Chain A
Amino acid sequence: MAQLNLPCDEAKIRALKVGDFVELSGRMITGRDAAHHWLLHGFREEVAPFMKGSLIYHVGPVVKKHEDGHYTFVAAGPTTSAREEPFQADVIGKYGLRGVIGKGGMGPKTLKGLAEHGAVYFHAVGGTAQVLAQAVVKVEQVFQLKEFGVPEALWVIQVKDFPVVVTMDSHGSSLHAEVEKASKAKLEQLLGLSA
């Protein structure tokens, strides 16, 4: 399995193709619905350094706060990425992200953005919250915790050997678009509907 250290340069991302298994190590940030709105309203200086050359992970974790004030992720699988479709390409461009981790895939606007900016969509296995929380070795800091709450806050995390699959690459390929098309043809056949 290929290893990728974060942050990384564009060439490493351009080399990735749909179907590649990758283990990620290094620093990334989390963010989902509220975070994407927030990131697009103005430029958020405080989080920008954690995003440049790295990834945003679509996740709403279960987090434990320890007595000395530090945090650990108790459960942290991906959330559905499709909700960020209107914003994702712009967030990637604005903050220099090299990609996204999520589940369920994203649409044509994001796919175009990936090609334009040299970024990639990594799919983590939905629901595998324990396997993935174990790969989060450190929670460094958190932004917008009070405003957004635990699931929606932006957590800066260190991961080690975090397992993902490339399902949308920087060359216009999307596994999700392929499966959607093939399953639609099969459905029409099963229901006797002509396309």
Chain B
Amino acid sequence: MLTREQWTEKFVEVIAHASSQLPPDVLAALKRGRDVEAPGSLAAKALDSILTNIEMAKGNWQPICQDTGTPLVWIHHPVGMSTRILTAAFEEAVRQATAKQLLRPNAVDPLTDKNTGHGQAPGIPTVHCEEWDEAGLEVRLILKGGGCENVGAQYSLPNTKLKADRDLEGVRRCILDAVQQAQGKGCAPGIIGACFGGDRGSGFLESKRQLLRRLDDTNPVPELAAMENELFEQANQLGIGPMGFGGKTTVLGVKVGYLGRLPASYFVSISYMCWANRRAGARINPSGEVVWLS
């Protein structure tokens, strides 16, 4: 197996990918959006600019967006590996990537209000490690910007104002309301990750984990697959459009998961991801070989 320094090196590569190379399914969704907007409209011009930007970032291996966000990391590791070493290796990778301008120095100490200058602080990055039976390691990363994180929302059902009860229809109502509340502020067209059930903490975490899914996948739960399609259609009827300029492209995808809940609680947790859905995944084999995942 690799040393801690070698893990850091691999993780810097994963960060470079996420920061500069937008996944193909997201690019395809943005192109579809551009094609449905009226030529010459503010919406079409915004999407043209976005598409140009994606190509520039890709070619130059530079950040797609200057807000390189919170690195959210999920690692599956073989039996017996030290999660402390993996976490420390990823933290060091964030510092190195920040020094190389792949990331912005993006961590502020809220007590002193000083930027730490190197991109790392308690809780940044967030690294979730889980053991599995495979010999290799899998790492999945999302760089989630602050603008879109700020428009996330959590609902406790029932909600009288939205006529949302404790059922799937209630969940649907909350998600649509969250998209309308967000307007263009989360850098629309966005991707919606949602979770119903769980507690206030686990619900939000699961809503973020949903953002690891490809836009063109299908939810294995038929009711949720239907809900995702319906929400995609309806959110795009709201007319918010790219950047909130008005238009037909308000969301690129909606992904819904769930967790067990207490009898007393029914939370709907919604994470909004900006169009710059910086998602990267890699399988790292025991030899150190890196296989990129889509």
Q: Are B239 and A182 in contact (CB under 8 A)?
A: yes
Q: Are B237 and A64 in contact (CB under 8 A)?
A: no
Query: B188 to chain A: closest CB distance in Å?
Result: 9
Q: Per-position contact with A for B146-180: 1 when CB-CB < 8 Å, else 0?
A: 11001000000000001100000000010011001
Query: A189 to chain B: closest CB distance in Å?
Result: 9
Q: Which residues of the partner chain B approach A74 to less than 8 Å between Cβ atoms?
A: 62-63, 66, 101
| B129 close to chain A: CB less than 8 A | no
Minimal Cβ-Cβ distance residue in B for A59: B66
Q: Per-position contact with A for B235-279: 1 when CB-CB < 8 Å, else 0?
A: 001111111111000000000000000000000000000111000
Q: Which residues of the partner chain A approach B42 to less than 8 Å between Cβ atoms?
A: 19, 165, 175
User: A148 CA to B68 CA in the complex, in Å?
Assistant: 18
Q: Are B162 and A193 in contact (CB under 8 A)?
A: yes
Q: Are A125 and B63 in contact (CB under 8 A)?
A: no
Q: Which residues of the partner chain B approach A191 to less than 8 Å between Cβ atoms?
A: 162-163, 173, 176-177
Instruction: Count chain B residues whose beta carbon lies closer than 8 angstroms to a beta carbon of A.
Output: 55
Q: Which residues of the partner chain B approach A125 to less than 8 Å between Cβ atoms?
A: 46, 49-50, 53, 242-243
Q: Are A193 and B180 in contact (CB under 8 A)?
A: no
Given contacts A128-B50, A130-B53, A149-B115, contact A104 B244 (CB under 8 A): yes
Q: Are A127 and B63 in contact (CB under 8 A)?
A: no
- Of the candidates B105, B106, B183, the one whose C-beta lies within 8 Å of that of A183 is B183
| A134 close to chain B: CB less than 8 A | yes
| A109 close to chain B: CB less than 8 A | no
Query: A85 to chain B: closest CB distance in Å?
Result: 12
Q: Which residues of the partner chain A approach B82 to less than 8 Å between Cβ atoms?
A: none
- Of the candidates A21, A149, A165, the one whose C-beta lies within 8 Å of that of B105 is A149
Q: Which residues of the partner chain B approach A180 to less than 8 Å between Cβ atoms?
A: 183
| B225 close to chain A: CB less than 8 A | no
User: A8 CA to B240 CA in the complex, in Å?
Assistant: 32
Instruction: Count chain A residues whose beta carbon lies closer than 8 angstroms to a beta carbon of B.
Output: 51
Q: Which residues of the partner chain A approach B180 to less than 8 Å between Cβ atoms?
A: 183-184, 186-187
Minimal Cβ-Cβ distance residue in A for B46: A125
Given contacts A62-B104, A128-B49, contact A152 B115 (CB under 8 A): yes
Minimal Cβ-Cβ distance residue in B for A19: B42
Secondary structure of the A contact surface, majority rule:
mixed
Q: Are A190 and B57 in contact (CB under 8 A)?
A: no
Minimal Cβ-Cβ distance residue in B for A61: B66
Given contacts A103-B243, A126-B187, contact A183 B63 (CB under 8 A): no
Q: Which residues of the partner chain B approach A175 to less than 8 Å between Cβ atoms?
A: 42, 244-246
Q: Per-position contact with A for B99-131: 1 when CB-CB < 8 Å, else 0?
A: 001011110100001110100000000000000
Minimal Cβ-Cβ distance residue in B for A183: B238
Given contacts A75-B66, A131-B52, A163-B49, contact A183 B240 (CB under 8 A): yes
Per the 8 Å Cβ criterion, residues 119-143 of A in contact with B are 123, 125-131, 133-134
Q: Which residues of the partner chain A approach B64 to less than 8 Å between Cβ atoms?
A: 75, 127, 129-130
- Of the candidates B57, B177, B184, the one whose C-beta lies within 8 Å of that of A130 is B57
Q: Per-position contact with B for A60-85: 1 when CB-CB < 8 Å, else 0?
A: 11111000000000111101101000
Minimal Cβ-Cβ distance residue in A for B55: A130
Q: Are B187 and A127 in contact (CB under 8 A)?
A: yes
| B234 close to chain A: CB less than 8 A | yes
| B67 close to chain A: CB less than 8 A | yes
User: A105 CA to B246 CA in the complex, in Å?
Assistant: 13
User: A25 CA to B265 CA in the complex, in Å?
Assistant: 55
| A54 close to chain B: CB less than 8 A | no
User: A176 CA to B245 CA in the complex, in Å?
Assistant: 7
Q: Are A192 and B163 in contact (CB under 8 A)?
A: yes
| A151 close to chain B: CB less than 8 A | yes
Q: Per-position contact with A for B9-45: 1 when CB-CB < 8 Å, else 0?
A: 0000000000000000000000000000000001001
Give the top 3 A-B pairs by smallest Cβ distance, nearest first: A149-B115, A130-B56, A75-B66
| Interchain residue pairs with CB less than 8 A apart (16) | A79-B67, A103-B243, A123-B243, A125-B53, A126-B147, A127-B64, A129-B64, A131-B52, A131-B56, A149-B117, A151-B66, A176-B183, A179-B184, A184-B180, A190-B176, A191-B177
A residues engaging B (CB < 8 A)? 19, 21, 34, 59-64, 74-77, 79-80, 82, 103-105, 123, 125-131, 133-134, 148-152, 163, 165, 167, 175-176, 178-180, 182-184, 186-187, 190-193
